[in-house]
Structure 1
Amino acid sequence: MLGANYEPFTQHLTVCARLWPPFVDYDNNGNLMGYEIDLWNRMSLWLGNLTYTFKGLNNTLDEELVPMLLSSDNTSSSHCDVVLGNWKLSTAYITLGIKGSLDVYRGGSQVAIPNPYSGSMKSMWSFIMVFNWQLWVVLFATSVILCPFIYFSEIDYQNRGLGKARFPSALGSGLIESFYRVFGKIFNVVDEMRVRALASKAVALAWGSANTILLSAYTAGLTATATSANFQSAGIVGPSSLPNTRVGTFSTQTHSFLRYGFLGIAITDDMEESSGQVLADALSNNTLNLNAIVADTAWLNYRLQNTCDIVIIGDVFQYVHNAFGYNKNLDPGFIYNSTVALSDLAVTFDYYTTLTNKYMPGQNCAPAPNTIQLTLQDMEGMWILVAALIALAVVLTLLPKINRNWDVDKLHAGSGSSGSSGSRSSLGKAATASAALGVDFLAPSFTGSEAAFGHHNHSQKLESLSGCGHNSTSSGDARRFSWDLSSAAGSPHSHPVVSMKQAEGGGGQGGRRGSTVKCEDAATATVV
């Protein structure tokens, strides 16, 4: 306890607070907070309401703080009476005359590793990274080459299907179907190609076998990626496990751990608070293939308390003593009284434990599961591909429909001299009426199919007709057509409709066949 002759310290102090969570940090309103801020405020109340002003320092190294603690000009902007924020006692500073308080926190270094039981593959495209890009390129190139090969090998076989399952008729046939079968086999979504040519059979057998092997290798690779992405880190239990591993640390500490049998890999240039985040990111993202990092135990327990992707393991080692740094010229009586106050807060009130639980509660990660689970993040890329393929399927389905609607031949076949539209499969009223009145039509356009006349001479042209009862012989053919035009009496809006019936010819060489065409009322006529 303070002596009976203790008088409150009246000097106004400049307290330099260096940013270093959890000892010194800023809240959402920009006000200073943290372990040492709370402890200083509590100690000042214990000493009798000290008067002081906080001066925030961001990313300031120990070497930069030394001149501030040696300054005797308390009006200078580079003067500090007290330094808070991960200040560590050392014999070098004591030799310079810089004093320190009682320990405010017993810190040190600790090991952090990727969670070996998280099952996370760290990337939404990890399922693609099972194969490297060269293998994906070769696989795609091989598929593209096989498609036209199989198509041209089967070119002499008509009305054949490349698989048991029916190919979507809307997508057409031929080379498109070859692409569908070859690429579908990669993903095991189509059956074996049913080809007939010997070369095609050999290629189909080889391609099917290759895809079976690739699918097996991919499945095994994906499982290995998920279960053993952090396999090398799983056996690390503390500093004794770090020899012969890749350990990231600060550049100023790379040789500090030789006594533990390992040499650290410099990740950052200086020991600033932001450097700790660089360390954690390098380990989490696996950008440098690190097995572990070694960092300040207070920072690790503060920053990683809400995550389990990186876990803190083992005991604290290479201890350091965090304290308040006091200016060389500060009153020794104040230093003594502050030591008494800190001792009372630590022992009697257990205030150090209260602050530790508040700012460094430690991680609360669930026990290691018995199985590895993939997360949604690991497979997000797959859903993007699924959406893209569905969009492609919709486009491929709509294109033939759009093409049919804008088919020039269809529009020409279904329109008459007046431009009216009709169906290619059946003769429209306007088209038949125009034909009966003497308008010239090409035979395929008039009949709608080659089979209707039983011949393939598309150059034939029906002679102009002036009325029913005329016989017309198409050029180049012996077929004769009998036309009978008659309008329904008393029906001013009726249109003559041609009905055609093919009949056997009674005579002539070769048993020529004739067609009798009759005109009937449009309202009742039917095509025979």
Structure 2
Amino acid sequence: MGHRDIAAARRMLWLSLLLSLCVWTSAVFAQAGSSSKAAPKSALPPGEVGQTLTVGTAVAPPFVMRDSSGQLSGLSIVLWQRVADQLGFKSHYVERDLPGLLSGLQNGDLDISVAALTVTEPREARVDFTFPFYSTGLSIAVPASGSNGVWHTVSRIFSWQFLTALAALAGVLLLVGVAVWACERRANAEEFGGGLLGGLGSGFWWAAVTMTTVGYGDKSPRTLGGRLIGLVWMFAAIIIISSFTAAIATSLTVDKLSSGIQGVNDLDHARVETVAGSAAAESLTNRGIPFSREKSLGAALADLAAGRVDAVVYDAPLLKYRIREDYAHRLNVIDHTFERQDYAFALPQGSDLREPINRAILSTIDDSQWNRLVARYVGSS
């Protein structure tokens, strides 16, 4: 090989090396450019796709319901199943009470809570909430107008407490009658004599007519002891009669107030009840309205139907559904609502699932079928 051939070979080698360098440099810059692009918005954290999530739930019709076969349904369940299908999740449902839905997220027992959970500031301090999927408000359930008639008023007056007080009064009358009979049975035998039963009956009759200030005059004590007992009894009877009159007037007034509840401002003097640990309980506490607590909405409505309370305060759609199903024509939900309630799913604080679940929720409720689902489970209102 001559010098010219060697020089030509060297030139070809250098050109090949230069071309290879250019190709390698272009590939490096192309890879760097592609890596600088944002990841797809639908991307989930590594290892999440196909995962089975432990889903806490609580029966709260019409958002969470369980049929006779044990299958869960309801607006919240349908929404979550659609979200889970979009993201490739499987669900293992675990029923908890309302406090358990939050504490389970804090201690790691639950991955998400799906129910009729209201977003509140105290709860937000403990867990994270997704984008709200339904907005409503608190409302008030009261007895239907027909249940506040004469019989309802009579039943309120002649309650167990009233009959107990009446029995106690009869006992006091008998005690005073015995005392007068003991003093008068010998010195005033014509009025308080006639044997044990006759004498006690005369003493009881005298105590009763003296208490009511009727004073027929057919019987009156003549001994010093009998007259002292009569004097004390007349003053004591004034107090007793006044107390009974006030108790009956209060019962009638409360009954009238309870039948005239039109909004939250009418609850101050009514017997109010709600579910312990609920957003309604928080609202009533913040407003300074006295109320009693029950473990469930069903128990609270049973108290209202039985006349043990005057009003039940709770989330409007849950009240309307339960009353429509179980207490039609016996209880009503007033039209006025207060204290806006936003329902959302709850997650552990800082959960990586919050962003993809939010996107899936927004995608679902933006679909035209969402309004039909809401009307199906909650009603067109």
CA shift digits 1:134-187 (9 cap, x unpaired): x555323112223344532344x6xxx989xxxxxxxxx522222234446778
Find out whether 1:121 has 2:156 as its counterpart: yes
* CA RMSD in angstroms, aligned pairs only: 5.9
* Alpha carbons of structure 1 residues 102 and 180: separation in structure 2 relative to 1, 3 Å: closer
Distance 1:333 1:257 in 2: 32
Distance 2:158 2:56 in 1: 39
Tell whether the 8 Å contact from 1:254 to 1:264 is kept in structure 2 after alignment.
Answer: no
| Residue in structure 2 matched with residue 322 of structure 1 by the alignment | 343
Tell whether the 8 Å contact from 1:247 to 1:292 is kept in structure 2 after alignment.
Answer: yes
* Alpha carbons of structure 1 residues 184 and 345: separation in structure 2 relative to 1, 3 Å: farther
Distance 2:352 2:128 in 1: 9
Tell me the secondary structure at the aligned position of residue 127 of structure 1: helix
Counterpart of 1:21, as a letter, is A
Distance 2:258 2:267 in 1: 10
Find out whether 1:344 has 2:363 as its counterpart: no
1:91 to partner: Cα distance: 8.8
| Residue in structure 2 matched with residue 227 of structure 1 by the alignment | 252
Find out whether 1:85 has 2:115 as its counterpart: yes
1:297 pairs with 304, 316, 320, which one?
316
What are the within-5 Å matches in structure 2 for residues 486-525 of structure 1?
none
What are the within-5 Å matches in structure 2 for residues 12-161 of structure 1?
12-14=51-53, 16-22=55-61, 23-24=63-64, 26=66, 32-37=72-77, 40=80, 43=82, 51-61=90-100, 63-67=102-106, 78-80=109-111, 82-89=112-119, 98=128, 100=130, 103=133, 105-112=134-141, 117=148, 118-119=152-153, 120-121=155-156, 124-129=159-164, 133=168, 135-155=169-189
Counterpart of 1:36, as a letter, is S
Bigger-Rg structure (1/2): 1
Counterpart of 2:187, as a letter, is S
Q: Tell me which of the two structures has the higher relative contact order, counting C-alpha pairs closer than 8 angstroms and 6 or more residues apart.
A: 2
Find out whether 1:180 has 2:201 as its counterpart: yes
Counterpart of 1:58, as a letter, is D
What are the within-5 Å matches in structure 2 for residues 371-390 of structure 1?
none
* Alpha carbons of structure 1 residues 255 and 86: separation in structure 2 relative to 1, 3 Å: closer
Tell me the secondary structure at the aligned position of residue 237 of structure 1: coil
Distance 1:28 1:49 in 2: 28
Distance 2:218 2:120 in 1: 81
CA shift digits 1:67-98 (9 cap, x unpaired): 47xx7xxxxxx342x43112345799999995
Distance 2:196 2:126 in 1: 85
1:243 to partner: Cα distance: 6.4
1:224 to partner: Cα distance: 3.6
CA shift digits 1:240-291 (9 cap, x unpaired): 4456888666678699659x993245756xxxx826578778888999xx87
Distance 2:124 2:207 in 1: 72
What are the within-5 Å matches in structure 2 for residues 403-418 of structure 1?
none
Distance 2:283 2:221 in 1: 70
Distance 2:175 2:126 in 1: 71
Tell whether the 8 Å contact from 2:83 to 2:357 is kept in structure 1 after alignment.
Answer: no
Distance 1:94 1:216 in 2: 55
Distance 2:127 2:218 in 1: 91
Tell whether the 8 Å contact from 1:151 to 1:175 is kept in structure 2 after alignment.
Answer: no
Q: Which runs of 5+ in 2 are unaligned?
A: 1-41, 43-47, 210-215
1:218 to partner: Cα distance: 9.7
* Alpha carbons of structure 1 residues 261 and 44: separation in structure 2 relative to 1, 3 Å: closer
1:319 to partner: Cα distance: 1.0
Identity %: 17
Q: How many residue pairs align between the two structures? A: 313
Tell whether the 8 Å contact from 1:237 to 1:313 is kept in structure 2 after alignment.
Answer: yes
Counterpart of 2:336, as a letter, is D
Normalised TM-score (structure 1): 0.42
Find out whether 1:274 has 2:295 as its counterpart: yes
Counterpart of 2:263, as a letter, is G
Distance 1:14 1:265 in 2: 40
CA shift digits 1:33-57 (9 cap, x unpaired): 544235556x479969985332223
1:316 to partner: Cα distance: 1.9
Find out whether 1:263 has 2:288 as its counterpart: yes
Tell me the secondary structure at the aligned position of residue 179 of structure 1: helix
Distance 1:20 1:283 in 2: 21
CA shift digits 1:295-330 (9 cap, x unpaired): 333444455554588764452222121133468334
Tell whether the 8 Å contact from 1:147 to 1:175 is kept in structure 2 after alignment.
Answer: no
Counterpart of 1:18, as a letter, is T
Larger helix fraction of residues: 2
Distance 2:56 2:246 in 1: 51
* Alpha carbons of structure 1 residues 62 and 48: separation in structure 2 relative to 1, 3 Å: closer
